[in-house]
Amino acid sequence: MIYDRSLCWLRRDLRLDDNTALSVATHNSKKVFIVFVFDICILKKLQDEDDRRITFIVHSLRELSSRLREKKSDLLVRIGNPIDEIPKLAAELKVNAVFANRDYEPYAKTRDIKVSNSLLVNGIDFKSYKDQVIFEYPEIISGQQRPYRVYTPYKNNWLKNLGPQHISDQISNFKTLSTISDIDKHSINWNFSILGFKENLLWLEAGEAAAKKRFEVFKTVENRYFDNRNFPYIEDGTSGLSVHLRFGTISIRQLVRSTYKKNNIGVKTWLSELIWRDFYQTILDQFPHVANSCFQVVCDQIEWPGKNRHFDLWCQGMTGYPLIDAAMRHFNNTGWMHNRLRMIVASFLTKDLLVDWRKGEKWFARKLLDFDLAANNGGWQWSASTGCDAQPYFRIFNPITQSKNFDPNGNFIRHHIEELSGFSDRRIHWPHDAGIEEQNKAKCLLGSQYPHPIVVHAIQRKRAIELFKEVKS
């Protein structure tokens, strides 16, 4: 069916290239308008006026607008509740259909149903498409015709089913885009102050062009991914694309296309990480209770005895465990954390400090630039041993051993905890064994310039195991 006028609603897909909804809309419409809505239902929940995600979105939208103006079109922006704004704009523009890419979060699914119903009342079609994942449920299902609960068989089935048709480039027909004159009268002023936020510094460049540039850089080192991915001090050890994937400034299909038929361990390992992303999206989609509860329902019986004071010190990077503190300070300063460190700090909070994983998850949700509910929840529940295919509760990261293994020379620690920089490579992982003479030489007095450890790992490990045994037995 060819529509006279259509509206393409961008959400987690802030790009023009390889965008499924945009491609379908522009090939099946005589004229296409593009809109992004700053959702006040989401904005009002953000606690920090300098939330980095707003900066990333604004910068990405500015680039989108610039690219569209080169094509003699432009981006429409609205501020409000999409349940009201999309039907209202659709009526103003007199469109016959609204196109969008699917979102699997509980809030988004409910929102889209309400928007669709409202549009339908006015005789406007709502068309949604798979775009942010390669496979969605039920494309990949178990032998019992159910969603997978364990990653490895899911991954094997995912790889078995992958074909060129799943990763083809979704090319748009930009000739059907609305003209600037079409949309000028529907435009509104929008900036940080109107949104109620302040611009913040980003550790990476926003937008589609920056995403492609970063990806091209990563491809030059992808063969080393297996060897480098666990070491946070290696600058190009990971792709750095998680933020771009979250906001859709790059297509997941483009990334997977680049791995197709490649047979080196670096690329295959990186592809596995992309598959984890699909897996967690399916888990959230099919088991929405995980957004607030344990995937393993029995684990909701755990009474976490952790102290609020310990949680606050963990947030601040003041636990007395150098790698934990370096990771948290870096996180607070940038809004990003290396995946290995995410696992280590999550394990420490839940297994050493015995704090409910939901508190850590919420802190990450507040501060992460690349926050994605499915991935964040999945990672936290994996570390806490409450999720699907989770780390066994008796396997608990030793933060000192992890530090020695993955920051062997203390480079990452020194960079983010200046007061410890004077300690030797051997001592920096655990400076608390240093005598007063060694502390003076390092110009760091423990207990005043750097905190004593707030817990003893060996003791807390035993407590954590007993805590889980009580509900698992």
Q: Domain limits of the chain?
A: 1-131, 132-168+209-286, 297-472
- Tens of pLDDT along the chain (473 residues) come to 899 999 999 999 999 999 999 999 999 999 999 999 999 999 999 999 999 999 999 999 999 999 999 999 999 999 999 999 999 999 999 999 999 999 999 999 999 999 999 999 999 999 999 999 999 999 999 999 999 999 999 999 999 999 999 999 999 999 999 999 999 889 888 999 999 999 999 999 999 999 999 999 999 999 999 999 999 999 899 999 999 999 999 999 999 999 998 999 999 999 999 999 999 999 999 999 999 999 999 999 999 999 999 999 999 999 999 999 999 999 999 999 999 999 999 999 999 999 999 999 999 999 999 999 999 999 999 999 999 988 899 999 999 999 999 999 999 999 999 999 999 999 999 999 999 999 999 999 999 999 999 999 999 999 999 999 999 87
Measured between alpha carbons, how far is 250 from 160 in angstroms, rounded to an integer?
24
pLDDT of residue 80: 97
pLDDT of residue 160: 98
User: 33 is written with which tokens?
Assistant: 């308008």
Measured between alpha carbons, how far is 23 from 400 in angstroms, rounded to an integer?
50
Kindly report, residue by residue over 296-322, the tens digit of the pLDDT.
999 999 999 999 999 999 999 999 999
**Angle in degrees, CA 349, 352, 355, rounded to 5:** 45
Asked if 190 and 79 touch (Cβ cutoff 8 Å), the reply is yes
Options 2.60.120.650, 3.40.50.620, 3.60.150.10, 3.40.50.970; CATH of 1-131? 3.40.50.620
Say if 1-131 and 132-168+209-286 have the same CATH topology. Answer: no
Measured between alpha carbons, how far is 246 from 238 in angstroms, rounded to an integer?
16
Top-level CATH class of 132-168+209-286? mainly alpha
φ, ψ of residue 376 to 5 degrees: the values are -65, -45
User: 228 is written with which tokens?
Assistant: 């480098």
User: 224 is written with which tokens?
Assistant: 């080393």
pLDDT of residue 143: 95
pLDDT of residue 472: 82
Burial of 458 per CB tally in 10 Å (0-12, 13-18, 19+): exposed
Top-level CATH class of 297-472? mainly alpha
Bridge partners of 80? 39
Kindly report, residue by residue over 166-196, the tens digit of the pLDDT.
999 999 999 999 999 999 889 888 999 999 9
Q: Which strand ranges, in their side-by-side order, compose the sheet holding 97-101?
A: 76-80, 29-39, 3-10, 97-101, 125-129
80: left (phi over 0), alpha (psi -120 to 50) or beta: left
pLDDT of residue 184: 86
Asked if 204 and 210 touch (Cβ cutoff 8 Å), the reply is yes
CA-based nearest residue to 89, from 125, 98, 110, 120: 98
pLDDT of residue 187: 87
| Residue 295 CB neighbours (<10 A) | 20
**Which residues are catalytic, by number?**
273, 276, 304, 339, 357, 380
